[in-house]
Structures are given as C-alpha cells and as structure tokens.
Chains A and B, each alone.
Chain A
Amino acid sequence: MDMKDTAVLQVCDLHVDFAGTGHSVPVVRGLSYRLKAGRVLAVVGESGSGKTVQALSLLGLLPPVARISGGRVLYQGKDLLTLPDEQLREVRGQKISMIFQNPAASLNPVLTVGEQLCETLRAHRVISRQQARKQAANLLQEVGIAEAEKRLDEYPFQFSGGMCQRVMIAMALALSPDVLIADEPTTALDVTIQAQILRLIKNLQQASHMAVVFITHNLALASQIADEVLVLYGGLCMEQAPAAALFAHPVHPYTQGLLASLVSVRSKVERLPAIAGQPPVAGEVPSGCPFAPRCPHATEKCRAELPVLQNRAGRLVRCWREEQK
C-alpha cells in the first residue's frame, strides 16, 4: 500500500438522526467511506439525501436538532465524534476545513474580509496582527483576488458571490489543511463563475495534495473534479466507485437514472429523461430499498428488505439485482 492509498479521513458506520415530534428520524443510515490523501471524493445526492448532514457531522457542526446516534469518524487515529471540544477546535479550520453553499451568507456581514481571514490564522498560529495581515493578503492573491491588500479592508457585501466563495476558499486553505469539505460550493453561483471556482479548487487541491470531500447534487460537476464518487440516497450509500468506472458503467438503477437525466450537447432528445416519483421524505423511510418506489426494476423483495452494500470488483453497490448475478 503506497502513500496514496492511506486514508486521511475514515467514516465508519455513521448514523445521524433528526429529533422529530416524539420520535427521531434517521437522516444518515450507516454511512462509511475512506478518504485518501490527495484525492477528491464526490458525494452526490438529491436534496434530503443526507449529504450535507454527513459533512457537518464530521466537524461537529450539526444543528441542535440533529444527533449522531452511532459510528466513528477517524482522523489521525482519533475519533472526531468523541474528541473533546478543545481538541476538535484544533482540527477545525486547521486540519479539516470547510466551505459552504451560500458564500455571501457564510461570511460575517459586519467584519472586514481581512479580519475574518486573520482571525482564522490567529486562532491556530501565534503570529502578530501585521504578519497575519500579510499572509491574508497573500492568500487572497492566491485565490485570484486582485488588489488584495486593499480588499482586506472591505466588507463581504462589497464582494460578488463568486468573490465571496474565493474568500471562503482562501480562509479554508489558510492553514494548509489535510482535508477540505466543500458543501455545494458552486450551487449559488452563475454557471461561468461555477467553472472558475471548480477549477480553482481543483488547482489548489493538486498543488497542496489535499484531500477533498466534494458534495454536490450535480453529477456533471462531480465528473469534472472527482476521483471517486459516492451516490447517496435516503441517507444510504447506493453506489461507490472510481469516477471513471461509475460514469462509464453505472450499476445501480438510481445512478443510471441520474446519468440518463444529464444533458449532453451531443445527444438530441425530445425530452429529458427523468426519474419518476419523488425522493423519500425523511421520517417515512420504507422498510425495503428506499429507491424501490421509483425503481423500474423493483421487485417484492426490494420493497420488503433493505439490500446490503456489497463489493463488486472494486465498487460498492446496494441493490438486490447485483446479488442475483
């Protein structure tokens, strides 16, 4: 096993519940994955699939309504889920950092961009204000913001959405973390800006050999950046495979459906194929496969019994059809 294969972050059988009225609702159901150093793992899923929740639970950033009911998140041999607050703070922003879906709202409106960058540096390093400021300016330059020195004194509302996300990225990468968790970092941005931000993340990731968890609902984006793709549905991992293999040959009917509904410039179709039905509402989790109500191949067994995740030649699939093969 060479360096490339060592996992920097390992999620084992993660369970997250939301407190409902009287009963709790499972949102993430036994999720496991290994994040390898310097690789990009895309977590793909629809709204409500649990992709953001699983990401937030890694750093203990879940809203009060959510509760981690099981599992471990291993980083450097330590379980982040049971780490004391003080040690978890050491990890946050320094070893594992995160960028979010809505960059403009993710920055504090009443603090200057420079202040927000500097405080990240000063939270983990013993440096003077001047040093922090100098570093902050360099960071802004690195993420492609012109006149960085001047813009340090500006407030987030003076930045566009794309620029705000660049600031967020600068902040996240300020301390050269091992892992970057990017939660739909381009969703709130224009398409042209999306491509720029994606390229920026990719470049910085390759330059620093950092591992990335890239969360998106957009398979096309995942195909551009990911080394490996994990498809999440109803809080369950449906399929996980190296990106090339997954896009070339999707196995799970849900993945197939997602890929079929992608628009291609070359294809000439009258109407875009779509997956019939609605994703499951959390709390009404069916006893069988959560995708069964929408699956064209569903059988009685699918509706009655939850398929197990099984290894099929380097890829993980959760489907009874694979069992029969």
Chain B
Amino acid sequence: MVRYLIRRLMMLPLVVLGVTFLLFFLTQRLSPEMRASLYVKDPRQMGSLEEVIRQYGLRDNVFKQYGRWLAQVARGDLGYSPSANMPVAQAIKQYFPATVQLALVTMVLVVFFGVWFGVFSAVHKDRWQDTLARVISVGGFSLPIFVLGLLLLMLFYGKLGWFAPGGYSLQTDLIIHSGSFKMYTGFLLLDAVLNGNGRVFIDVLSHLVLPAVTLCIGSFALMVRVMRSSMLEELGKDYVRTARAKGLLPRQVVYKHAGKNAIIPVITLAGIQFIRLLGGTVIVETIFDYPGIGRFGVIAAQQLDIAGILGFSLMVAVLFVLGNLLSDLLYTAVDPRIRLD
C-alpha cells in the first residue's frame, strides 16, 4: 500500500512538469515585449520596457526561463498575477476554497440524486418511472450549461430576485472583513459555522444554489445513466438471486447487495467529475460571477497573465493526479477484491 502510494505520487512531478512546460512553451509565442508590458502599469513607463525584459531575462532560451520559473516555484513563489492584482499563491488561496465549496455541494447533490435516480430507474426498468427518469437525464445532458445557467439567472435573479450572483452579499462582505469574523479555513460555509454566524452561512449558501444546480444538471444525467446500467447489470447476477432466495427485503437486495457492487463504476465517474469541478467550473463561475478559481483562470488567460495561467495550470495538474489517486483509494474501500500493490 505504501509502495503503491509512493509509486503513484512519483507520477505527480511528471504530470506537473509536462503540463507546465507545454504551457510555458506556448507562452513563449508571445514576444518578450508583450510579456514585459503586462508589468508596466503606466504608459509613461513604456520606455523602461527593455529594462524589464532584461531584468527578468525574457529573451533567454526557453529552457533557461522555464528552469528559472521552476526554481522560483520550488521556493514557494508562483509569481505575481497582474490580472488578480496580487501574488498568484495568494490568489489561489483566496479563490480556491470558494470553488471547493461549490464543487462539494454540487457533488453531494449529483451523487445523492444520481445514485438514487439510477437505482429507481433500474428497479422500474421499462416502466413509466424508468422512462421519466431517462427523459429527465437525457434532457439534462443535452441542455448546454451556458444556456441553462443564463436561463436560471434570468428567472431566479432577474424575475424573482431570489438568488443573486456573486459569492456573497455586501453585508456579508462587511461582516467577514470586520475583524470579529475569524477566517479559520477560508471555506466560508465552514467558517460561518465555526463563528456561529447563521446569517453569513445562509447568505453564502443562497449564493451557491444557482451555480450548484446548473453544474449539477449536466453531471447528474451522466451519473444516472452509469448508475442505471451498472445497477441493471448487477441485478441480473447470481448473488442477487441468492439474496432473494434467503428471504431478504427488496430494499436489502437492491441497496445492500446490488447497490454496493453497482456503485463501483460510479465512484470513478464521481472522482473525474469532482476533479473537473475543482479545476474551475469556468463557464458557471463566469456566468454567476462566482469568485472561484475558474473565474481567476479565465481572467488570467484573457489578460495574458502568464504567471496566473501557469499557477492555475500547476494547481489543476496537481489536483488531477491527487484526485485520480483518491478515487483509486476509494475503490479499495468498496471492493475488497482490489488490492493496491
């Protein structure tokens, strides 16, 4: 087990190096002048452009520059992001918890409803309940996220005014920066609980509803389909017949026996979806102006903020490897036949 972990973690630097080098190489397509101009705030300073280029070695060989970036990263310095107007590391620290929060709420919804609907659909195979569940899931699957997101925003914010975009309201902003509100974790929902502040909790949660629902519907559809087919396969197996022959309740046969086997492929899917959500739910965060890491990534890309782009992709690469590892570890918890070594 330990050896397996070590071997898997050795993949981490390989993936990270591959991804960041590729991106670094691409950013070199921009001329040194373009890259340097990002750090010039005032047009009157344009004369010092050459000085900036020389200072940062922007004309050096790409490997040399990449090596410099790596050395800098190794010291824990991801550079300064002009688009976020703060160091990249600080931007990640500030925006990432909001995305994690959104991803977690979304995944809980997706897994809970996806598994439940999938089982429901499989148990009622070819009856109207199944057809309904399939229509809903295909419908959700075919509805583009940007269309659904905008529709929800128009209805629930524009017309009804129930859920506002953004991460939290102005009042909450005042409270959390007032000094009496302690940021223990950076996760606002959790911090609100730790501070015992119900108003902040409800406010943050209500800002999560629309983006979470939007994200949920696309992933949910896939989850239902995987769970349904996996469940149907398991329900046809011999051990299910044994379970019924023993006189167990239908609930036990379906959930305990078939369900525990059918959930295995769902875990992989949930793992992949969760990582995708963590890596920035770019469209949704942009539509709902949600202060997450995805929005940070998009703005960095739009403004050619190279340090921001590299920092963002470095984070996504690390998440990708760790997330996959985590879902493999989850397997062993569910399926005793899988041993990691």
Closest chain-A Cβ to B178's Cβ sits at a distance in Å of: 51
Q: Is the CB of A110 within 8 A of B242?
A: no
Closest chain-A Cβ to B180's Cβ sits at a distance in Å of: 49
A102: interface (CB < 8 Å): yes
Type the 1/0 row for A122-161, where 1 means its CB is closer than 8 Å to any CB of B. 0110000000000000000000000000000001010000
Q: Is the CB of A61 within 8 A of B241?
A: yes
Q: How far is the CA of A92 from the CA of B243 in the complex (A)?
A: 10
Closest to A102 in B: B238
Give chain A's interface secondary structure class: mixed
Interface size classification for chain A: 20 to 34
Closest chain-B Cβ to A65's Cβ sits at a distance in Å of: 11
B237: interface (CB < 8 Å): yes
**Interface residue ranges of A26-81 to B (CB < 8 Å):** 56, 59, 61, 63
In the complex, the number of residue pairs spanning A and B with C-beta atoms less than 8 Å apart equals 79
Closest chain-A Cβ to B123's Cβ sits at a distance in Å of: 12
Contacts of A59 in B (CB 8 A): 245
Q: Is the CB of B246 within 8 A of A106?
A: no
Q: Is the CB of B261 within 8 A of A119?
A: no
Closest chain-B Cβ to A189's Cβ sits at a distance in Å of: 15
Closest to B260 in A: A110
Contacts of A211 in B (CB 8 A): none
B334: interface (CB < 8 Å): yes
Q: How far is the CA of A100 from the CA of B243 in the complex (A)?
A: 12
B237, B245, B248, B257: residue with the most chain A Cβ atoms closer than 10 Å: B245
Closest chain-A Cβ to B238's Cβ sits at a distance in Å of: 4
Q: Is the CB of A123 within 8 A of B247?
A: yes
Q: How far is the CA of A91 from the CA of B241 in the complex (A)?
A: 15
Contacts of A110 in B (CB 8 A): 260-261, 334-337
Interface size classification for chain B: 20 to 34
Q: How far is the CA of A124 from the CA of B237 in the complex (A)?
A: 24
Closest to A157 in B: B337
Closest chain-A Cβ to B152's Cβ sits at a distance in Å of: 39
Q: Is the CB of B247 within 8 A of A93?
A: yes
Q: Is the CB of A155 within 8 A of B336?
A: yes
Give chain B's interface secondary structure class: helix
Q: How far is the CA of A91 from the CA of B246 in the complex (A)?
A: 9
- Give the residue of B242, B256, B336 whose beta carbon is less than 8 angstroms from that of A168: B242
Type the 1/0 row for A98-122, where 1 means its CB is closer than 8 Å to any CB of B. 1010100111111110000001100
- Give the residue of A61, A109, A112 whose beta carbon is less than 8 angstroms from that of B244: A61
- Give the residue of A91, A105, A108 whose beta carbon is less than 8 angstroms from that of B247: A91
Q: How far is the CA of A85 from the CA of B251 in the complex (A)?
A: 13
**Interface residue ranges of B200-242 to A (CB < 8 Å):** 236-239, 241-242
Q: How far is the CA of A123 from the CA of B335 in the complex (A)?
A: 24
A91, A97, A111, A157: residue with the most chain B Cβ atoms closer than 10 Å: A111
Closest to A108 in B: B239
B22: interface (CB < 8 Å): no
Contacts of A120 in B (CB 8 A): 246-248
B252: interface (CB < 8 Å): yes
Q: How far is the CA of A102 from the CA of B237 in the complex (A)?
A: 11
Closest to B257 in A: A108
Contacts of A190 in B (CB 8 A): none
B249: interface (CB < 8 Å): yes
Q: Is the CB of A171 within 8 A of B241?
A: no
Closest to B234 in A: A108
Q: B residues engaging A (CB < 8 A)?
A: 236-239, 241-250, 252, 256-257, 260-261, 334-337
Name 7 A/B residue pairs within 8 A (Cβ), A-sorted: A92-B247, A106-B239, A108-B242, A109-B239, A109-B337, A155-B337, A171-B246
Q: A residues engaging B (CB < 8 A)?
A: 56, 59, 61, 63, 85, 89-94, 97-98, 100, 102, 105-112, 119-120, 123-124, 155, 157, 168, 171
Give the 3 A-B CB pairs with smallest separation, nearest first: A93-B247, A92-B247, A93-B246
